[in-house]
Amino acid sequence: MNKTLDRTTTQVSEEELAAHLESAQVPALIMLTAHVTGDASVLRDDWRPNLRALPSSGLDAETEAAARARCFELLAPFLPTQNTWDSVPSEELRLAMSTWLMGAPVEDALAMSEVAFIPNNTDPRQPEWKLDEIAPDTALNAVVIGAGFSGLLAGLRLKQAGVPFKIIEKSHDVGGTWWENTYPDCRTDVRSHIYTYSFTQHDWETHFGRQDKIHGYLHQFAADNGLLEHMVYGTEVTATRWNEDTNSWTLETKTAQGVGETIEATVVVSAVGQLNRPSIPNLEGIDSFKGPIVHSAQWDHSIDFTGKKVVVVGTGASALQFAPAVAKVAEQVTIFQRSAPWLRSTPVLRQEIADGERWLLNNLNQYRAYYRFSIFLPRVVGNLPAATVDPSFPPTEVSVSAANEALRKELTEYLLEQAGDDAELAKQIIPNYPPAAKRIICDDGTWVKTLKRENVRLVSQGVNRIDETGVWLGDEHIEADVILLGTGFKASDFLLPMSVAGIGGKDLHETWGIDASAYLGSTLPGFPNFFCMYGPNTNTVIHGNLVFFLECQAVYMIDAIKTLATGGYKSMNLRDDVFAEYDKEIVAESAKRTWGWSKTHSWYMNAEGRSTIMWPLPARNYFERTTQVRTEDYKLG
């Protein structure tokens, strides 16, 4: 396992820099040079990167060579002092760099650059207070439910603030989804350097982290930060109940052996994730099938697919990873596609980071921060206009605005290129809904190559019926030894199956019905001192970054605890009117976006067509609203 990076203190000689210069991503090198030398003349218009190519520049080789040479010339004299370089660029330079990178002054850029540019070894958003200093006599304590990406982060913030806490985890290790999903070729489709806590960077081997490596990273993070001693593994929280007499939550837990325990906590942080309850479709005859039926999140590693006849149901992000691996060894793979996924060309999806580039990331001071900045900023400023309905366009079921249509054309071209001269296949793989109505999946050509294999058949419809030996497609019987379900998760069933009873015994799931909603994805009226991480409406399609959103939620949660502690309050309960106003805004904004407009199936929508998953506004809006708790939003008591 790679060790989480500590500090960059290595001396870099001119010769070493010259030797690795070719591997440097030019945008990162240019911004680093401007920062270190103070010479912003390198932020030239003709050296501005193509946003779609980042972290590469997308410039021609000659222009890149000129940029590299000039950066080297300017940077070389500063190398001997690299360990003393200022770690944070001035506000003026940040603005200049953000504007240069994005190609125009972007309203979001400055605010975002403060959180985007995280120099090595710094954690600017950690709490700057300690519970025993601000409230020595308080009885505050917390339980975090879940030890995935969000639960570990919540745990760290509680630890930093000196709030006593436990993390209760149903599995026997940390990692959440990255512990549970072990299907072949499972990896993130978010670039590794932003699928990492901003303040704990890592020496990733690949551009897109593999499941085992991400799990390793999270385990190391927990170990390095002393979180493992707070873990209660193999234990599920079955119920949690607010006691008005004691202003605390009572949590009922159960181990796999059925052993129960009751825990009291003044604060509950639910970090149970969205993608952990497999959705098993209720297909006719599914129970009659004699062979194994395996969901992607419950992979059965004892099955050898060599020479097997396999049916795959679903063509989402999971199936697009496991089906190609299975197709390499199976005799026959039949893939049932209900709707085709949009694919984004991502040639480095399965590639390792070149040695020279890794060397720079690990040795040249601040290069990593600029590398990350060049990925993070465009992603978080995002492209919400391309997912926004323009009533005058006029919107249709295939595109909703000029920007959305431009994106549709770009993605369609990629699919056509992939299909080549196979017109039938082209028809099957081009989606009939607007891009960004559901997740756009990163692709390096593997998917269509798989579909073109002799032993693979793509069927553009759902499964009619299953019997003992296979699947029916109209009158045709397709024999199967194994059925693989890439059918996703019950993402809209937030917090199930745990029961949550708030003030007066109010049941959370009855309150929600199927319309889960929480203020900023975090709090709800009637459920004091209860905070969600990765709660309703905190996902993004093409306008954010999951880990960044989690970091925002952790800032909000820990600021709320500070509010309780400094005011000597026992409870904070969201005001009904604040929640109602917020909820109205989210519903109205969601309806303007592709995922709220389109009638296509997706886990972004619940059974009644409400989007409980996506944040419908710019990421900056979320960042600003979660930076600090507005005490006037709450009834404090």
Distance, in Å, from the CA atom of 412 to the CA atom of 405, rounded to the nearest integer, reads 10
Provide the minimum distance between the beta carbon of 431 and ligand NAP in the complex, in angstroms, as a whole number.
9
The contact pattern for ligand NAP, residues 545-584, with x = CB under 6 A and - = no contact, is ----------------------------------------
Type of residue numbered 448 = V
612 lies in the site for ligand NAP, by CB under 6 A: no
**DSSP string covering 64-96:** HHHHHHHHHHHHGGGGGGGGGS-SS--HHHHHH
Near ligand NAP by CB under 6 A: residue from 27, 486, 521, 616: 486
Q: In what order do the strands lie in the sheet with 482-485?
A: 293-295, 482-485, 309-313, 332-336, 456-459
Instruction: Map the footprint of ligand NAP across residues 338-397, applying CB under 6 A.
Output: 338-339
- Contacts of residue 235, Cβ cutoff 8 Å, sequence gap at least 6: 168, 169, 170, 253, 254, 255, 261
Near ligand NAP by CB under 6 A: residue from 49, 488, 525, 544: 488
Provide the minimum distance between the beta carbon of 6 and ligand NAP in the complex, in angstroms, as a whole number.
27
Per the CB < 8 A criterion, the answer to whether 169 and 151 are in contact is yes
Provide the minimum distance between the beta carbon of 15 and ligand NAP in the complex, in angstroms, as a whole number.
39
Provide the minimum distance between the beta carbon of 543 and ligand NAP in the complex, in angstroms, as a whole number.
15
Near ligand NAP by CB under 6 A: residue from 58, 281, 285, 385: 281
Provide the minimum distance between the beta carbon of 188 and ligand NAP in the complex, in angstroms, as a whole number.
4
Type of residue numbered 330 = A
Q: Which stretch binds ligand NAP (CB under 6 A): 71-79, 309-317, 499-507, 620-628?
A: 309-317
Per the CB < 8 A criterion, the answer to whether 172 and 228 are in contact is no
439 lies in the site for ligand NAP, by CB under 6 A: yes
502 lies in the site for ligand NAP, by CB under 6 A: no
Per the CB < 8 A criterion, the answer to whether 480 and 309 are in contact is yes
298 lies in the site for ligand NAP, by CB under 6 A: no
Instruction: Map the footprint of ligand NAP across residues 311-340, applying CB under 6 A.
Output: 313-319, 321, 336, 338-339
189 lies in the site for ligand NAP, by CB under 6 A: yes
Distance, in Å, from the CA atom of 333 to the CA atom of 343, rounded to the nearest integer, reads 21
473, containing H or E segment: strand 470-473
Rank residues 130 and 338 by Cβ distance to ligand NAP and give the closer one: 338
Distance, in Å, from the CA atom of 545 to the CA atom of 539, rounded to the nearest integer, reads 8
Can you read off the two tokens belonging to residue 286? Answer: 């599914």
Provide the minimum distance between the beta carbon of 600 and ligand NAP in the complex, in angstroms, as a whole number.
7
Rank residues 214 and 419 by Cβ distance to ligand NAP and give the closer one: 214
Q: Find the residue with minimal CB distance to ligand NAP.
A: 316
- Residue 427, classed as helix, strand or coil, is helix
- Residue 37, classed as helix, strand or coil, is helix
Size of the site for ligand NAP (CB under 6 A): 27
Rank residues 317 and 364 by Cβ distance to ligand NAP and give the closer one: 317
520 lies in the site for ligand NAP, by CB under 6 A: no
465 lies in the site for ligand NAP, by CB under 6 A: no
Near ligand NAP by CB under 6 A: residue from 457, 601, 625, 635: 601
Can you read off the two tokens belonging to residue 304? Answer: 């050898």
* DSSP strands (E only) in 502-581: 530-532, 572-574
Rank residues 153 and 311 by Cβ distance to ligand NAP and give the closer one: 311
Return contacts of 188-192, CB within 8 angstroms, 24+ apart. Answer: 188/214, 189/317, 189/346, 189/349, 189/441, 189/442, 190/545, 190/546, 190/547, 191/55, 191/375
Provide the minimum distance between the beta carbon of 319 and ligand NAP in the complex, in angstroms, as a whole number.
6
The upper half-sphere exposure of residue 285, i.e. CA atoms within 13 Å in the direction of its Cβ, equals 14
Rank residues 35 and 295 by Cβ distance to ligand NAP and give the closer one: 295
Q: Which residues bind ligand NAP (CB under 6 A)?
A: 187-189, 275, 281, 296, 313-319, 321, 336, 338-339, 439, 462-463, 486-489, 601-603
